[in-house]
A and B are shown apart, each in its own frame.
Chain A
Amino acid sequence: MNLRSSLVLVALLLPLLAGRPPVAAQQPDGVTVRDVQQRDTDGDGQPDVTIIDCSFATERDRVLVYDLGNDMQAASDWRSATDFTNDAWVFDAGADGTAELIIRFSTNDQQQIAELFDDRTSDGMVEYTASPSFAIRESLFATVQVRAVDGWWEQAEWVNYNLDISTDGPVRTMFSWSDYIQILSNHNGTPDFTIQVRDPDRDGRPDYQWVDIAEGLALSSSDNVVRTSLMVNPADDEPPVRGAIFWPYLGSDSSYTKDYGISPPPISIDWERAVINHVGEFVGSRFNDAAWFVYSLERITPAELTSANFEAPFGFYDLARDDDGFPELQVRVEVTEPYFFEGFPHWTQVVRYSWDQHNTQNWDYKLDLVGSHEVASTVALPFADATMVPYADLPAWVTGREWGLINFAATEQPYWTSEGIYEDLVPVLATRSQYVTGQINRLPASDYSTIPAGMRSEYSGTFARPALYFSPIDRKLHLQSASTGVWNIGRTDRDGVAALYYDNLDGDAYLDQWSYIEVRGGSQPITITRQLTMAASHLLYTDGNEVRLLQTTAAPALFTTAPPTTYSAWQRLGRLLNAYEREIDPGDFPAMLAQFEGPQQRITGATYRDFRPTESGFRLVLDVQPDAASSGPTLPGLEQLAAGTYLVRYNADEQTFSSTPLTPATLDLALVLPQQAEARAIGNLLLMGVQATNSGLADATGLTLITEASLGDRSTSLVSETLPILSDRTVWTAINWQPSAAGDWQVQARLTDQQGNLVAEAQQTITVQALPERNIQTVLRFTGSYGSWSLAWLLLLVIGGVVGGILLTLRPATASEEQP
């Protein structure tokens, strides 16, 4: 091999060594060409128009290419006969003699320009004339203009993706299209959107696409619309375009966004209506395993450093490093900048973090994270800098911070969307706008109905970093510090509908109670309930007919892990799940119990309820039927239980049970009122309270406490709330009251049960004083001294006297004053 050949070989191989091979320009496969003919209309011996008989929209279409540069070649192949340099292409879908699209190509300042004209007059065609010379009559302005920055559309090797595009009129250019439709009816020569596509390494694959709304577009600053969108392919692996109609960017696909593994021509035409549908994605926003985009409500401009907000960024990651085009991790950050919420001077984020752990193109797990974190990093975007979290750092940024709300979801059946798992147990947007901004004291209520069948979800509000653990009980991955959750099992194979509820009764990092409820249909619906509880080295099970108590030392977690952010972490988690996961039916608690060893007492004909941890261990209420029988080793303290209802306590230090016949809740109320007389004055803020005590053995739940203050026929409601009062506990309810009148107020507190029966009450009289500061003199003193307001009133009387005196000056008209 000589030097020249070697150099050629190196030149050819270099792109391969550098990365992906360049994409060769494809034959336009969106059109079938049947025949090419040419005509010389001016008799100069050179063809002036090429007529291509083809199919691109219907069975029979036609394209007429007019030579505007007087350089048309005689040829039977359309590629040789025509060009995209100075010809006008008239697309006649249906070959009916009307044009549905015209593209006028030209050159200006070494840039290739394509001007696309569509129907602007709603007559279904683009008006033009061909003689004596070609002219477009439809509109003075092109609807879409494309400029090839490098001066060419395609060369032998590849298609040029260094393009500047502008649109003028109702052409979709953004994902969120409906926001703009009202303001884009004007087709006036002024661009509404600009799009910049770039392929810096000129390998025939676009690397990024920047869509920007025109600065002068009539939008109010309070309009929450996306003003800048940016799509980036960091792996530079956009699939080659398929389905082009002659020109490599022209097609008929109806979808604005791409799909996995395909790139339709981004400029799409509706041939029936003769309009340009959209200038869609050159660079895919979602449909790749290494991609990210920004949809910012704040317009990102080089004029100043902008805080990118809304989806900034939305990233996809190839955690499996398999480059299969499907992401294994999706991280979406919805950002609001300081003062987006009125009066709230901090950033907020709502994050969706979904990953495909098993690499089966199904999202297996998802975290929603809501909180408030400063965003300080500046990212150099293609045309401007913006304040946002960099794509590469995003997973670690999310998992390395504490969040006020974390929702965790796991799919138990196939689930795939282009944007991750949507469902959230605790509404994330309400959490951000109300809880994170400090307006409310508690997380918004969870809504189990949002969890579809085949999905389980739990949440934590403990302000912590996201962490997961694997439960040895149900062999599932769970969220650490979750307080409650649900698995919507859906239909069972016994014509029932079932759900599994999770609870964390002791408030530690692990769930400790599983409650299975199944409702089976039929002429007489029945409800199956089972419960499994883990506490103080015991596992307890009941199904309403029997109780099993297993003494065992199961660890609360087989392993703990952070959400995967890297290939190695993802692999490690996969290995652990493979090692520990088992197929256990979600309601099969006996199977879960069977995983553990230890003495197990089984009591048939019994059930337990009202389980709760205590400081020394736990307690429950055991209902023993007359036909109850015990088998297996008897646990200390549970011998010879006759029929009845018992309070059973377990002492973890002594490792013994004790049982006592259950007595009902005994409730007592006491009002605690301010003692100091000076404090008890009208207008003062009084801190009072109600103390509720339950001295019985049974817990009391669903109670309603109402407290009122009354003076004569005037009544003020002070407290109205529902609360539980557990056995041996005292509950304090604070009351804030500002008495509005002096006198002997009667303060009454009443406690009622779920049926509305009065179970406890308390009443006290509080004497509210009318302090001297609260009378008329006080009001007068607000506005000055005794002297000044006395003088003022005196002056007032003088003014009145003067005006009254003026009346006294009126006299009947005299003779000289009489009117003739």
Chain B
Amino acid sequence: MTLAHEPPADSYEAPLSERLQIVLLFGLAGMVVAYLLLRYRLLWGEGDTATFTVLIELMLREGTLLPEQATYANGFGFQALAMQLVYITGLSLAQVQLIGGWLLMLWLVIPMWLLYRELLNGRGMLLASALLLMQPEFLFGVMRGTHEKFTRGLTILCLYLLLRSLRSQNRPAQFAGLVISFYLSAYALITFNSLLATSFIAATAGALVLSWLVMREGLLTLAINPTVSQWLQRLVFATATCLIISFVFIFYLYPPAQSGLRLLDSTLDRAAALMLDVETAINPYDVINIGWINTPVYLVLTLSNWLLLGVSALLWLWQSGRWLQGRWRPASRNTLLLWAFYGAFGLQGALSILVDFSGAISGNLQHRVFPSFAIVAVAMVVRALLEWIDNRKQVERWLYRGGAALFSALVVLSIIKATNEPLVSNKWLFYHPAERTALAWASTALADRSLWVGFDERLIAADTILLGAEREPVELDGWLLDPTTSDFMVSDILRQRALRLGLPLPVAADDFITYDNGKVQVYHRRPLTIYQR
């Protein structure tokens, strides 16, 4: 099959109208939010959400994009947006972070659907959008109170605008509008997270290189060659302009972005941070192997990841192999674009994993590349699925039903994984109101002291989300026990976690119980010297 040009997407007659598709997607996202509300009732504390709560609070308090006390090195966009939401809605910051953190992910529906409509020529965008939304690594990132729901969304939007603009080059006004929108979105992406933005730019540069290579080697059909030349030109401008904007932002407009880079000791770390979609780990301590109840459960829950990764990679490799053998060529520009972007994001991911395993970058940089990779991987898989359906002409009913059952199961497992379901996850994010009551008691009774509250940041994060930058008079001690801490909170949840993790609670049976509300006790270590108070 060859195509001289791309027929407009709206010439296809989909089984569900576009309006209905978008409503359905909103409904799906809404149901995920409803699930979270039913399951956890807003009683949860997630580390990055807490971090951003503090950053937003400081911005609110000082009324500046660069609060003196602390800034987010990679950008200010999310904090500024949250600040506006607080002012507009009148909700508290905690409510914006918790409720808004979940509800705001609904906005992703539009750019996702638009992108997939563009990439898949107007077919399969509903399925692709649903699959991406339910991809666990993607879902976990966008349901938190952090920049990620906007950076992922803006990435998707930028991709869409870039591709859409290619179709509008014959309509100058529309083209101009799309190009301007693209740069505005790119700038917004940079302000939300400059590192994620630069890695996206690196990916577009990678796609550019791949496309240029195949064109240079004469691997394209004569029909699409001219459009690819235009595309390359467009991509060069887009990449270069975004790089300039990014450079100006990092080195001139937003000073904290530089200091964030300077904190990384080695040049390799800095290069990795800019290009490979990594960032400094919030919690570099990895003493406790927080994970899942066992490895088989983990594998089952991440099945959708492995399938997506494996199937898409096989498809890409198969296409590439056949292409090199001359037995296949991309039928359309969008097929080529999808192939190039998949190669670029895939290469980023592979490089990230390689340098991390080699120890070339420091251990406290963690990967964020999979969600970006998933954006194009989903499109790759859905496109292949559609082609397979087209080639078969008639798909047996049992195949459809089997496939639907498989997709349903994968979605359920993905949501269980993304939400850290405590039945199977050792990383619990929820808390009990009685624990909050105990913390309130500790804030007066244990002022200027420290209180151990668990094996990780769970309660610290929950407390921070509720209180923002306002520090408790009592220092909350999580993760590794501080040797100066002599007061310990023990709740039913913590007992259960101790059993789950196989770790002892740091209290002795003969320590003093200084507080007990039925569900939570606070122990005070028995003093053995004159200096232990």
Q: Is the CB of A783 within 8 A of B422?
A: yes
Q: Does B291 contact A (CB under 8 A)?
A: no
Output the least CB separation between A85 and chain B (Å).
49
The total of chain B residues at the interface (CB under 8 A) is: 83
Interface flag for B440 (CB, 8 Å): no
Looking at B36-44, B80-88, B96-104, the stretch in contact with chain A turns out to be B36-44
Q: Is the pair B24, A736 in contact by a Cβ cutoff of 8 Å?
A: no
Contact call A792/B530, Cβ cutoff below 8 A = no
Given A810-B386, A819-B7: A788 in contact with B499 (beta carbons within 8 A)? no
Contact call A802/B28, Cβ cutoff below 8 A: yes
Among candidates B27, B126, B406, B510, residue contacting A809 with C-beta atoms closer than 8 Å:
B126
Q: Which residues of B contact A222 (CB under 8 A)?
A: none
The B108-134 residues at the A interface (CB cut-off 8 A) are 121, 123-124, 126-127, 130-131, 134
Binds A, one of B143-151, B197-205, B209-217, B489-497: B489-497
Residue of A784, A813, A816 near B390 (CB, 8 A) is A813
Question: B509: which of A683, A736, A798 is its contact (CB, 8 Å)?
Answer: A736
A801 shortest CB reach to chain B, Å = 6
Among A344, A345, A778, A807, contact of B492 (Cβ-Cβ < 8 Å): A778
B395 CB contacts on chain A under 8 angstroms: 812
Asked if A342 and B529 make an inter-chain contact with CB atoms under 8 angstroms apart, the answer reads no
Chain B minimum-CB-distance residue to A439:
B483
Determine whether the beta carbon of A441 is less than 8 Å from that of B35.
no
- Binary flags per residue of B487-513, CB closer than 8 Å to A gives 1, else 0: 000001101101100101101111000
Counting chain A CB atoms within 10 Å of each CB, the highest count among B1, B448, B483 belongs to: B483
Q: Does B394 contact A (CB under 8 A)?
A: yes
Whether B13 lies near A816 (C-beta < 8 A) is yes
Check B39–A792 contact: CB distance below 8 A. Answer: yes
**Which of B440-497 touch A at CB < 8 Å?**
448-450, 475, 482-486, 492-493, 495-496
A799 touches B32 (CB 8 A): yes
B233 CB within 8 Å of chain A: no
Number of inter-chain CB pairs below 8 Å: 189
Question: Scoring A residues 680 to 711 as 1 if CB is less than 8 Å from chain B, else 0, what string do you get?
Answer: 00110111000000000000000000000000
Contact A803 B531 (CB under 8 A): no
B408 close to A801 (CB less than 8 A): yes
Q: Are B39 and A789 in contact (CB under 8 A)?
A: yes
Given that A795-B31, A800-B412 are known contacts, is A810 also in contact with B124, CB under 8 Å in the complex? yes
In whole angstroms, how far apart are the Cα atoms of A686 and B504 in the complex? 12
Q: Do residues B409 and A438 form an inter-chain contact, with CB atoms below 8 A?
A: no
Identify which of B43, B449, B499, B528 contacts A683 (C-beta below 8 A). Answer: B499
Chain B residues with CB under 8 Å of A216's CB are none
Which residues on B sit within 8 Å (CB–CB) of A791?
A: 38
A525 at the interface (CB under 8 A from B): no
Contacts of B126 in A (CB 8 A): 806, 809
B3 touches A782 (CB 8 A): no
A779 and B390 within 8 A (CB): no
A441 & B448 in contact (Cβ 8 Å cutoff): no
**Are A813's CB and B35's CB within 8 A?**
no
Quick check: is A161 within 8 A (CB to CB) of the other chain? Answer: no
Instruction: List CB contacts (< 8 Å) of A301-349 with chain B.
Output: 341-345
The answer to the question of B180 belonging to the interface, with a C-beta cut-off of 8 Å to chain A, is no
Question: Does any Cβ of B come within 8 Å of A738's Cβ?
Answer: yes
**Cβ of A437 under 8 Å from chain B:** yes
Would you call A807 and B127 a contact (CB within 8 A)? yes
In the complex the two chains form, is A738's CB within 8 Å of B504's CB?
A: yes
In the complex, whether A376 has a CB less than 8 A from a CB of chain B is no
A809 to B41, CA, bound (A): 34
State whether the Cβ of A820 lies closer than 8 Å to any Cβ in chain B.
yes
Inter-chain CA distance A788–B415, complex, in Å, is 17
Using CB atoms, name the residue of chain B closest to A371: B531
Q: Is B327 an interface residue (CB 8 A)?
A: no
Chain A residues, CB < 8 A from B38? 784, 788-789, 791-792, 795
Q: B15 CB to closest chain A CB, in angstroms?
A: 5
Query: With an 8 A cutoff between CB atoms, is B393 at the interface?
Result: yes
Whether A416 sits at the interface, judged by CB under 8 Å, is no
Q: Let me know if B389 and A780 touch, CB within 8 A.
A: no
Among A773, A812, A816, point to the contact of B394 (Cβ < 8 A): A812
Known: A799-B31, A810-B385, A817-B13. A343 touches B450 (CB 8 A): yes
State A752–B40 Cα separation when bound (angstroms). 53
Chain B hits for A797, CB < 8 A: 408, 412
Residue of B nearest to A434 (CB): B483
CA distance A687 to B509 in the complex (A): 5
A3 within 8 Å of B by Cβ?
Answer: no
Given contacts A345-B448, A683-B498, A804-B411, whether A441 and B509 have CB atoms under 8 Å apart is no
Cβ contacts under 8 Å, B405 to chain A:
804
Task: Return A427 CB to nearest CB of chain B, in Å.
Answer: 16
A617 contacts B by Cβ under 8 Å: no
Tell me whether A803 and B484 are in contact in the complex, defined as CB-CB below 8 angstroms, given that A683-B495, A782-B493, A788-B41 are known contacts.
Answer: no
User: B492 contacts A782, CB within 8 Å?
Assistant: yes
Given the known A-B contacts A438-B531, A776-B423, A789-B38, are A343 and B482 also in contact in the complex, defined by CB atoms under 8 Å? yes
Shortest B10–chain A CB gap in Å is 12
Using Cβ atoms and an 8 Å threshold, which residues of chain A touch B496? 683, 774, 778-779, 782
Which of B401, B407, B432, B531 is the one whose CB lies under 8 Å from A436? B531
Partner of B422, one of A442, A782, A795, A816: A782
Out of B3, B422, B499, name the residue touching A774 (CB < 8 Å): B499
Q: Which A residues from 333 to 386 make CB contacts under 8 A with B?
A: 341-345, 372
Interchain residue pairs A-B with the least CB separation, the first 10:
A804-B408, A343-B484, A687-B509, A804-B404, A800-B408, A792-B38, A439-B483, A685-B509, A800-B412, A438-B532
5 contacts between A and B (CB under 8 A): A439-B484, A783-B39, A788-B41, A806-B126, A816-B13
A residues in contact (CB < 8 Å) with B: 341-345, 372, 404, 434-439, 441-442, 463, 682-683, 685-687, 734, 736, 738, 740, 773-774, 776, 778-780, 782-784, 788-789, 791-792, 795-814, 816-817, 819-820
